[in-house]
Structure 1
């Protein structure tokens, strides 16, 4: 969330902006305290969704204010005290034309970019990787549909398992969002996602990707994403699916192509060791970057 405040001087404002920007960047893939807007976008589809929200508000806010003012004016102008003799007017051609053409024009301005966004959501680039996500009560199962298939489950990470998994940092692996096995995908790669369910309806939702797709038993629904920034991104099941619906998180780790290839080769034999090796490599690369600065 971007916080705004009135600073005592330009230096204070600049310092706050840098700190806030770093905080948002560091936690781009998860919600933050007092968040009022979207999570930072990691795909172009998510960026378009954010833009369309701001664009829509340019129409929604003026229309809401106009309607409120008209209501207040009518309440005052046509009250019994100010208008003791009620008007007998039953028709006004100009008003009819205005309140018909006005909404039509506004809806056209909203419909065109809306259809463009919808088209983009269903027009992926040539996918390089296909992952199938199956919702269970209450965890996710994943299958990488590669030459040598890889399957694993992703379950909510319990506090007592954090040390063994090397995930003690709550800022990176928050409670109720962290999982034991993240989905790992390469950056700047179109991923086809097949979503289904084994028992009841679930929903695979990743806010930073602009993706939300229902998983329905007996049906494969298809969506896609192309993450353009490396990082760890969190989502949750977004379809009420039973008593532990709130404990069914989703985690996607976006890494370089080289890191993904090494992880995939190792994960086919030992997913736990592959995850730990990937985390260690990412942490080491961060340490090197900080040391160079």
Structure 2
């Protein structure tokens, strides 16, 4: 299983170094499956979803076939005298033992996945507190010099000033004015709460979804294994603007994060602009090298 998951999550250097608006970071039109994984935990979730289909599809087809067989064979015109069979030991053993065995095959990997979701493989390297508000998110980097800022959905009239006019990279209703910035391959603890009503912090590419409850702190974690910008949303109905409080997390190199973190302490807006410029320069260099 580990080899399968490692292969599933493998990303070529060209793809990893490509533009930050890779499809993995946001939903796509007519999407039926999960977003592409950006963490080992999400890879496990996708594996488990595909694993369960090997049980769900045959069971569904079996039940459908039994219903069709009963409808046809025992219809009133072909079977005017109903069967009065009241007991069949073999059938009862099969429909008792069968589901028990199937549930065991589902339970073991599901418990392993549940355990992984609440127990990171290593101690977190950094802690961020996310507080849901009506209708934005407030973030606090909890380290020696705390950094606190608000994140609102990016308004269309503010795109030019923010340098976020590219709808492919900064999609409508998902882009924000201030993204959460974290380094790649770093275990990040997220403390989730709310300041008014119940919200939910959800980041599909990372396999993260946890309720934000007023007066209570829930804990989750993620470790992004590639750079880019990834989008999520509040996933708990919280009021009239529930649909307008997106979550954006930008994953960068350790060097870029250190530079951003130092500058953000003094001027968050300037730090964000410098980070975007650094990322675009890197993309340009990669494109030139490819040519």
Fold conserved (TM > 0.5)? yes
Match of 1:279 in 2: 276
- Per mean C-alpha deviation after superposition, the further-off stretch among 78-87 and 183-192 is 78-87
Counterpart CA distance in 1 for 2:167 and 2:160 is 12
For the residues of structure 1 that align with 2:258 and 2:230, how far apart are their CA atoms?
19
CA distance in 2, matches of 1:113, 1:31: 27
Structure 2 residue 194 is matched with structure 1 residue 197: yes
| RMSD, aligned CA | 1.3
**Contact 2:20–2:227, Cα closer than 8 Å, also in 1:** no
Please tell me whether the aligned partners of residues 21 and 168 of structure 2 are also in contact (alpha carbons under 8 angstroms): no
Q: Please name the residue that 1:270 is paired with.
A: 267
Please give the secondary structure, in 1, of the residue aligned with 2:30: coil
- 1:4-43 matched pairs, under 5 angstroms: 26-43=22-39
C-alpha separation between the residues in 2 aligned to 1:129 and 1:266?
18
1:204-219 correspondence runs (5 A): 204-219=201-216
Query: For 1:122 and 1:83, how far apart are their aligned partners in 2?
Result: 56
Q: Deviations over 1:166-223 (max 9, x none)?
A: 1000000000000000000000000000000000000000000000011100011000
CA 1:137–1:167: 2 relative to 1, 3 Å: same
Give, in whole Å, the separation in 1 of the partners of 2:115 and 2:147.
Answer: 31
Residue 64 of structure 2 aligns to a residue whose secondary structure is: helix
* Deviation beyond 4 Å, 4+ runs, structure 1: 22-25
How far the C-alpha of 1:26 sits from its partner, in A, is: 2.2
- How far apart are residue 122 of structure 1 and its match? 1.1
Query: Counterpart in 1 of 2:70?
Result: 74
Equivalent of residue 259 in structure 1, options 256, 259, 264: 256
Q: Which runs of 5+ in 2 are unaligned?
A: 1-17
Q: How do residues 151-166 of structure 1 correspond to structure 2 at under 5 angstroms?
A: 151-166=148-163
Maintained 8 Å contact 2:211/2:236: yes
1:25 Cα offset (Å): 8.1
Deviation at 1:24, TM superposition (A): 12
Q: Is the 8 A contact 2:201 2:209 kept in 1?
A: yes
The alignment covers a number of residue pairs equal to 272
Q: Counterparts of 1:23 and 1:272 in 2: how far apart (Å)?
A: 22
Alignment partner for residue 234 of structure 2, among 237, 243, 246? 237
- Structure 1 residues without counterparts, runs of 5 or longer: 1-21
Tell me how far apart the structure 2 counterparts of residues 23 and 168 of structure 1 sit (CA, whole Å). 15
User: 1:16 is matched with which residue?
Assistant: none
2:3 is aligned to: none
Residue 112 in 1 paired to residue 108 in 2? yes
Aligned to 1:176: 173
Q: Matched residues in 2 for 1:118 and 1:155: separation?
A: 31
Equivalent residues in 2 for 1:76-115, closer than 5 Å: 76-115=72-111
Measure how far apart 1:61 and its partner are: 0.3
Q: For each residue in 1:136-179, what CA deviation from the matched residue of structure 2 results, as whole angstroms up to 9, or x when unmatched? A: 00000000001000000000000110111110000000000000
Cα distance in 1 for partners of 2:80, 2:205 equals 58
SS of the residue 2:149 aligns to? strand
Q: Secondary structure at the match of 2:25?
A: coil
**TM-score, normalised by the number of residues in structure 2:** 0.92
What secondary structure, in the 3-state scheme, does the structure 1 residue paired with 2:214 have? coil
* TM-score normalized by the length of structure 1: 0.91
What is the rounded CA distance, in whole Å, between the counterparts of 1:172 and 1:24 in structure 2? 7
The yes-or-no answer on 1:289 pairing with 2:286 is yes
Closer, same or farther: CA 166–23 of 1 in aligned 2, 3 Å? closer
Structure 2 contact 21–169 (Cα < 8 Å) conserved = no
Per-residue CA deviations over 1:16-35 (Å, capped at 9, x if unaligned) read: xxxxxx99982210001111
How big is the shift at 1:38? Answer: 0.5
